[in-house]
Structure 1
Amino acid sequence: MEAAGKLVKEMQNDITCTICRGYFPEPVTMACGHIFCQACISSIGTVGATTFSCPECRQESQEREIPVVNRSLAELTELDEEFCSGLLQSTQGQSQCVLHKKLLKLFCEDDQTLLCTACCETPEHGAHKILPVKEAAQNCRQKLQLIVSRLEEHCKQYNKLLALEENSAADWPLMVKEEYCKAQFFHLEEELHSLERLTQEEKANEDRIKQHMQNLLNLMEELEEAGQQPHLDVLYSAKELLRRSEIVLSQRAKAVIPELKECIIPGMMELLKKFKVELTLDRTSADSWVIVSEDLKSLKAEGDWEGEMEPPEDLPFHCVFAEQIFSSGRQYWEVDVSQVPQWSLGIYTPNLKIKNDRDMDSCSSVFLLRRIKKEEDYYLQTYPGLLNHRVKDPMSRIGVYLEYFPGTLVFYNVQQSSLIYRFYPIFFLETVTPFFSPGPPLPGTQPGPMTLCSVDSYICNCCYTGLSIYSGRNSQGTTRFQS
């Protein structure tokens, strides 16, 4: 109600002449912008004078005649006068009780409503706490002031928290940056140690091969010299020379073919986890030599395969595709091969090119890593590629990282967190499909399943102690297969 009265007063000031203090009957606007009644201006002005000054601001005007009445302003004044009168009557009516037509002088604390003296006599408010409006308003102001004080206290607390947050936040970026720098430094140290170790191993392998070659040359020289000796001398030294020759010749293969290096990359497996994808097998791509489990997560060799001992020109025989295909981004998946002595896995994509070691473009459609057995040793081979290394122990889980652009395919030994091989760059032109092959089986054995690991699976060293890769039993449970 007070606000309405204030509004009425302001509007009345806008439509009231400052000379006669009444509403504008015929308003005129001076050159300075002030408005007066035409009659008031006529009573204080001198017609025909050279100058005419505003009664309010005393600004002189060169006009010799009194300004004409502004009819639009006069109509607006009449509307404002009617609106102010109605608004004043409305606000006065709001201060009266609608039921008893008496002034609202009291306030009910229980119902939080305004009352007149007649309302207090009704049974509805008989037991309620009734206060005069002035006292109730004062109590309300005190409550509001108390809330304001509490809000001010909260604001002070938040300002303190904000100051603390700003001070601490100023240090966090630096601390995080320093931690990343420290991690990079640690990785750089590990990289230097790994490169130094690899260099030493390569030099040791090179020296070993050179020493073996020298032994061969020395033995050849001794054999040639022995052949020129007299008969008795030849027969006397032949037994020892033949024994040494057999020893040297038996060491030839292992001396020439190196073992796979353990290139451990600390923290790499943890980083690759965020790119893990859930793969399932496409049963329609399997032939009669491979059976796929009902959950589409495992595949197993069926029967005795023939051939497939040499690197394939295209896809390996008896492989199964994944249902998922990729044409962008980064993906990582893992395959459990602990129950399979021989296997192949990789990607298939048509119409691509890869730079070979001689900087010449060569066309290929398949990139794979495979494990095969020759005589008493197991070998890891890549196709295409130069990897053909002996491995000491059977690998339990293989990780595959695919980056569509700029074209990278990397194989990892998950259990050892080590790098096996990296294809780069591969210029992918079409979609990429992972594939898997659980063979060929070793003669006379029944290998177990080759399993696509779920994204939430993890590897534990104790799970792969005493692997029974020839028994066909899955240490992680029984898997149902459907051909």
Structure 2
Amino acid sequence: MAFAAALAMLQAEARCPICLDYLRDPVTTECGHNFCSSCIHQRWEGLQGTFPCPVCFHHCPDRSLKRNTQLCHMTEIAKQIPGMRGKGKRQKEPLCKKHREGLALFCEKDLELLCAQCRVSSNHGDHPLMPMEEAAATHRRKLKSYIESLSEQIKDTENRSEMQVSKCFELRQRIKHQKDELHSEVKQLKHFLENVQNAMLIRLLTEKTYIEKKIMEETNQISNQSSILTSLLADIISKNLQTDVDLLTGIGSIHNRYNNLETPATCLYELKEESCSLAPHYLGLHKMIHTFQVDLTLDPETAHPSLIISRDRKSVTYRTSFGLHNLQARNSYPAVLSSEGFDAGRHFWQVEVRGTGAWSLGVCKESFPRNAPMLPTPRNGCWQIQFWANTCVTCHSGNRQCIGIFLDYELGEVSFYNLRNISHIYSFSGSFTEKLVPYFCLGPSSKSFVMRIVKDEW
């Protein structure tokens, strides 16, 4: 039996791990494994750079392989050994544990070896049965197809691993780019921005650490998947080199492992964009306007009786003469509010004014009593500044007055800008706790006074 087993092992060693047939024109790779010359070159077809060994996945530097003349002679000798494999099988033929008869059939449903008596058993009577040799040939073909699929999956996991490394590098580059931008922004106001800069860098580094940790976790999952695939591939290759009986024994485990393979999910991570959170007039008026400008409309329901709202709800005009009998209306301020209000964020709007006399702009609380004879001050919930036009402004765009108002709700700041000479006029600072609404007020004038909300004037 030992002699027969040794001859069987000799015949197995004389077979190609790729085609599973006797070696034809055998060649040896750098790692010491032997293949048919045509099989290994076909497996490496289309590859460039490195060429993995199908058995151990060692990367061979090139396609140049050494022809193994001695192995070629040994293969020819192994072919000429008559019937030793068959004798070995007869000597080692396992018996059915239940009926003590030779195993000659294979149940395709339960993936089990059966004897002739098992065929009529109630457990397998209606199951598809095949002769052992035919079943072994069928499953050997299936295992061979698994080998190619697993090789592709291993290649895919290697590519995905490289992509993870690339993502990590890209992340570092983007972090570096954002850090450079932040340093550029704070250069002019270094003393004021020092605390802000440190806080933002900490957030960036925290985000970097978090995402890198996630990427490493996914890389480890992919590495584990690669190990599982490699182990399964090695088991299948080993299974294919076994006798029919050994191949079919426990074949279900191989199928289950292959069919239950799962590919680790890859999550996409978006780096949060950081930007300077200072009061926007530090970042430049032009950038502030284009970033935070909003489109407002006037609310006719909030307009004082002396004010006329245009059809497009963008302009308000003060009418100089009308009958006003309501004492409350006579004593209240001629103001109107915007239809839009804000309880968070940053917002910028522009107002163009023509006429003579007093007028004011700002924001007020939604609950501010507009019709009461109350002075609009921050204490009363109205943050506004008053302007005065001494001469009538013509319709020429160069002589108009244009004021920009910026609200930073979280910072608690309302700022006013002269958009004609690009200058900062004044800023209110406080703490906002309820919705704020843009506030527009026109006073009596000798000529028609028009205030208009404009947009994209810059």
Q: TM-score range by the shorter chain?
A: 0.3 to 0.5
Greater Rg by CA: 1
User: TM-score normalized by structure 1?
Assistant: 0.40
User: TM-score normalized by structure 2?
Assistant: 0.41
